[in-house]
Amino acid sequence: MATDPKIADSPIREIQVEALVVMRIIKHSTTSFPTPATGCLVGMDIGSQLQITNSFPFPASNPENQQTNSNPADPYHQSDQVALSLAAPRAKSSATYAGEMIKYLREVNVDAQGVGWYMSCSMGNFVSQAFVENQAFYQRGQEEKTVALVFDVSRSSQGSLNLKAYRLSPSFMAAFKDSKFSTESIQKSKLRYQDIFIELPITIHNSHLLTSFLHQIPAAPPQKTALDFPASLAELHHDPNIASNPLAPNLESLDLSIDPFLEKTTDLMLESIEQHTTEQNNASYYQRSLAREQTKIKTWQEKRKNENLLRTQQKQPLLPEDEWQKLFKLPTEPSRLELMLVGRQVEQYARQVDGFNAVVSGKMFGVRGNLLPGEMA
Amino acid sequence: MAGDPKNYLHLARPLAPAPIATQSSAVTAPVTVTLHPQALFSILDHASRRPADQDRVIGTLLGTRSEDGTEVSISNCYAVPHTETAEQVEVDMDYQKRMLELHLRAAPKEVLVGWYATSGDLNTFSALIQNFYGQQGEGTWPHPAVHLTVGTKAGQDIEANTYISAPIGVTAERAADSCLFIPVPHEIKYDDASKSGLELIAGARDREDRSQFLQTDVEMLERAVEQVLEMLERVSNYVSDVLDEEREPSTALGQFLLNTLSLAPKVNPEDIEKDFNNHIQDVLLVSYLSNTIRTQIDLSNRLVTAALTMGPGDGAAATAGEGGEGKGQREGGGGGRGGRGGRGGRSGQAGRDQGRREEQ
């Protein structure tokens, strides 16, 4: 498996996220599921560590509102809700919204430096043109030290928090600036799809107040060293002392459901494969039409040469031989960016399946060992 | 806060005689408040960022209300700058209005439901602000404005209290800054989604620097298994002690344990083997397929760029053709067309070079 480009290449080495930001992102993403949720991050960069201290969601207006006050000529006009929220981080209206929010937040002593954006996804399907454009927009802007946080809603609900931070690699940014992704430019830059993103490690940080609050959530230690035994089974079920503690260990990760995950992953894989074939077909169609144009140009050139030969014999003025440039138009090569993104997305799915595999095999062997006592795996 | 359930007395709050004869009078139904952890964290964060000279800071609460107004859920909040001296208090109202607009744009469902303060005392200033928030027009009228206080003194418990208010006053002039704060029951609800985040955040509470790396799935699984093992060990210690007659037995506990243990299914060993093998095969198959697909796409990407570095010639044509056919094996006709296109492209390029040479 190819390794990610070294983190040492980027100006930021790690991300520190406040607990508040984690909770806000979780809440926003789960309330707007299945539409992807996008928002802005604010914080501060300290040396090579980027601290994220607050966040707020971007408004993504409904298509009904859009039709009344925006015209289709606007480059940021989008047609459906999903595309709207995905385009929000780089839309002009969002930039003004974010600017105003940050101005007001500064008055209450919140860090006023925009340090990136976040979005939610489902089962890892975040690699898309919109994602790359958003992050490129942020990395091109005034502050180059920006990051994209991706929160995976469906995998987090299965037990463990799934939050990742990405930046675009410098080689990819250079290629993206020219927005030329033809075969020759890729050959020159030797860009592979593994090189597009750099993943950064994340730490969660709590404030002192929050830490004292966390210590306080479980009820105060009981007066006696041991609880009295319950008098009856019914009392056990209704005993308030054994109430569900929000910080009790989250045992959902021990759940043994495999099929839904596998089904969803294979569906998403099929989608990626379809995209891949479409792109391949486009590329081969381009090559075929290029070949056709080439042969046409050649035959035309032959004809011209023969005519000129005749004319030299008859002492007539020669016809120009490079008119073919005006007569025939060579087709433009389609961009190879989509192909690379599909490759990266497939790799993301493959990695997820591997991770899932590791966890599920452990659980399966454990369950089997329990149900078939005496047998070793 | 999640400790002893307190008892609340609901007073249908006494209302002042309305100066304006309005159609609907204020709602006087009992109110219960649900607090989201997100809002609470935000309040704590704001409290830690307050300017050095201020003892307490205030802000606005946003949330949703049930149809009849009896259940209020607080899901978001933002800070409002204010200054407080011994004689007077100033709240930046423009700020509050503008922030409310901004927030409503992002989340139209979350409306104004009240305000919060980061210290537990209630004084005349609280009353003034409460009346401001509960007024007609910009406030929460006809529903009562909820006031949340969170005690944030270092060293003391962080205690949250919620109140609604009723006007009270001896004279008409004093009515504006007097208020009867009625405590209402509140609860902090942790929904499932926040649980995973909360577990990680809580994991950081015992460490020196209060920070915690994000853990992979395998590490979380390991943690969960260890916790279950520990619980099982405690229970089995208790049972063996009871059997050795060292501890008092409890019929309720015994019954509970029996019920739990009987949940283990009694299945045929062959069936278990079969199901187990099927499941493992499914997982391994998907994993193998996805890795194959990944390799294939990687290969096709590389071939596209690599094949063109070789000059025109049979070798290049053969490789391009092979690449095309390799893809063709996966998607029949499409790949074949691609292969032909590849070869056509090669000869096209050769033709172009030739054409250029002839022109010179």
CA distances for A304 relative to A300, B254, B307, B359, angstroms = 6, 102, 34, 12
Between A23, A283, A367, which is nearest B38 by CB? A23
Contact A100 B102 (CB under 8 A): yes
Residue B25: pLDDT over 60: no
Q: What is the pLDDT of residues A280-327, one digit of tens each?
A: 888 888 888 888 888 888 888 888 888 888 888 887 777 777 776 777
- Looking at residue B28, its pLDDT comes to 66
State the Cα–Cα distance between residues A175 and A181, nearest whole angstrom: 7
Mean pLDDT, rounded, for A263-272: 87
Contact A211 B210 (CB under 8 A): yes
In terms of Cα–Cα distance, which of B337, B286, B278 is closest to A270? B286
> To 10 degrees, the CA torsion angle through A147, A150, A156, A162?
-40
- Looking at residue B64, its pLDDT comes to 87
State the Cα–Cα distance between residues A81 and A58, nearest whole angstrom: 13
What's the N-to-C CA distance of chain B in angstroms?
Answer: 89
- In the chain, the amino acid numbered A208 is H
Query: Measured between CB atoms, does A79 come within 8 Å of chain B?
Result: no
**Taking CA B109 as the corner, what is the angle to CA B80 and CA A92, rounded to the nearest 5 degrees?**
75
**Taking CA A323 as the corner, what is the angle to CA A322 and CA A326, rounded to the nearest 5 degrees?**
125
- Looking at residue B350, its pLDDT comes to 42
Q: What is the mean pLDDT of chain B?
A: 73
State the Cα–Cα distance between residues B152 and B139, nearest whole angstrom: 26
In terms of Cα–Cα distance, which of B114, B59, B46 is closest to B91? B59
Residue A340: pLDDT over 50: yes
Token pair 């046409």 is found at: A296
CA distances for B238 relative to A36, A210, A336, angstroms = 49, 36, 66
Contact A230 B253 (CB under 8 A): yes
Inter-chain contacts counted by CB atoms under 8 A, chains A and B: 343
Residue A338: pLDDT over 70: yes
Smallest CA–CA distance, residue B29 to chain A, in Å, is 28
- Looking at residue B315, its pLDDT comes to 39
- Looking at residue B136, its pLDDT comes to 66
Q: What is the pLDDT of residues A206-235, one digit of tens each?
A: 887 777 777 777 655 555 445 566 666 666
Q: What is the pLDDT of residues B286-306, one digit of tens each?
A: 889 888 988 988 888 887 776
- Looking at residue A235, its pLDDT comes to 62
- Looking at residue B332, its pLDDT comes to 37
In terms of Cα–Cα distance, which of A121, A124, A131, A138 is closest to A41? A138
- Suggest the residue from B205, B206, B285, B310 to mutate for an interface test with chain A (most A CBs closer than 10 A): B205
Q: What is the pLDDT of residues B155-168, one digit of tens each?
A: 777 778 888 877 77
Residue B86: pLDDT over 60: yes
Q: Which 3 state secondary structure label does DSSP give B113?
A: strand
Between B194, B272, B290, which is nearest A371 by CB? B272
Gyration radius of chain B's alpha carbons: 35
Query: What is the ipTM score, two decimals?
Result: 0.75
Q: Which 3 state secondary structure label does DSSP give A253?
A: helix
Q: E-assigned strands of B206-358?
A: 211-213
User: Exposure pattern of B214-244 as b/e (b: 16+ CB <10 Å)?
Assistant: bbebeebbebbbeeeeeeeeeeeebeeeeee
Residue B339: pLDDT over 60: no
User: Exposure pattern of B319-330 as b/e (b: 16+ CB <10 Å)?
Assistant: bbbebbebbbee
Compute CA A79 distance to the chain's CA centroid, rounded to the nearest angstrom.
Answer: 21
> Contacts of residue A209 in chain B, CB cutoff 8 Å?
44-45, 47-48, 152, 154, 158
> Contacts of residue A19 in chain B, CB cutoff 8 Å?
41, 197, 201, 204
> Contacts of residue A160 in chain B, CB cutoff 8 Å?
196, 200, 215-217, 220
DSSP string, B120-173: S---HHHHHHHHHHHSSSSS-TTSPPEEEEE---TTS---EEEEEEEE--SSTT
- Looking at residue A218, its pLDDT comes to 63
Q: What is the pLDDT of residues B146-201, one digit of tens each?
A: 888 888 777 777 778 888 877 776 676 666 677 778 888 888 887 777 777 777 77
Residue B249, C-beta contacts closer than 8 angstroms, at least 6 positions apart:
B242
Could you tell me if B166 and B127 are in contact, meaning their C-beta atoms sit under 8 angstroms apart? no
Q: What is the pLDDT of residues B221-265, one digit of tens each?
A: 787 788 888 888 988 888 898 888 887 777 777 888 888 888 877
State the Cα–Cα distance between residues A84 and A80, nearest whole angstrom: 6
State the Cα–Cα distance between residues A24 and A18, nearest whole angstrom: 10
Question: What residue ranges define each of the domains in chain B, with the CATH number in brackets?
Answer: 19-192 (3.40.140.10), 215-278 (no CATH), 298-347 (no CATH)
pTM exceeds 0.90 for this model = no
Q: What is the mean pLDDT of chain A?
A: 77
- Looking at residue B233, its pLDDT comes to 92
> Contacts of residue A231 in chain B, CB cutoff 8 Å?
252
Please confirm whether the linkage preceding A249 is cis (ω < 30° from 0). no
Residue B329: pLDDT over 50: no
- Looking at residue A159, its pLDDT comes to 65
Q: What is the pLDDT of residues B53-71, one digit of tens each?
A: 777 888 888 888 887 777 8
Q: Which of A306-320, B28-42, B345-359 has the lowest mean pLDDT?
A: B345-359
- Looking at residue B356, its pLDDT comes to 46
Could you tell me if B25 and B18 are in contact, meaning their C-beta atoms sit under 8 angstroms apart? yes
> To 10 degrees, the CA torsion angle through A287, A293, A296, A300?
-140
Smallest CA–CA distance, residue A295 to chain B, in Å, is 7
pLDDT greater at residue B22 or residue B284: B284
> Contacts of residue B251 in chain A, CB cutoff 8 Å?
232
pLDDT interval class at B313 (50, 70, 90) = very low
DSSP string, A27-64: HHHHHTTTSPPEEEEEEEEETTEEEEEEEEEPP---HH
Q: What is the pLDDT of residues A112-151, one digit of tens each?
A: 888 888 988 888 888 888 888 888 888 887 767 888 899 8
- Looking at residue B307, its pLDDT comes to 60
- For A123, left (φ over 0), alpha (ψ -120 to 50), or beta? left
Provide the CB-side half-sphere exposure for B125 (13 A, CA).
18
Please confirm whether the linkage preceding A34 is cis (ω < 30° from 0). yes
Provide the CB-side half-sphere exposure for A217 (13 A, CA).
23
Query: Measured between CB atoms, does A309 come within 8 Å of chain B?
Result: no
The token pair at A374 is 């005496």
As a whole-number percent, the residues of chain B with pLDDT over 90 amount to 0
Q: Which 3 state secondary structure label does DSSP give B110?
A: coil
- Looking at residue A154, its pLDDT comes to 80
pLDDT interval class at A377 (50, 70, 90) = very low
DSSP state of A16: E
State the Cα–Cα distance between residues A269 and A263, nearest whole angstrom: 10
Token pair 């418990």 is found at: B157
Chain A residue whose CA is closest to B324: A284
State the Cα–Cα distance between residues B123 and B129, nearest whole angstrom: 10
Which H/E stretch holds residue A117? strand A113-121
State the Cα–Cα distance between residues B102 and B137, nearest whole angstrom: 18
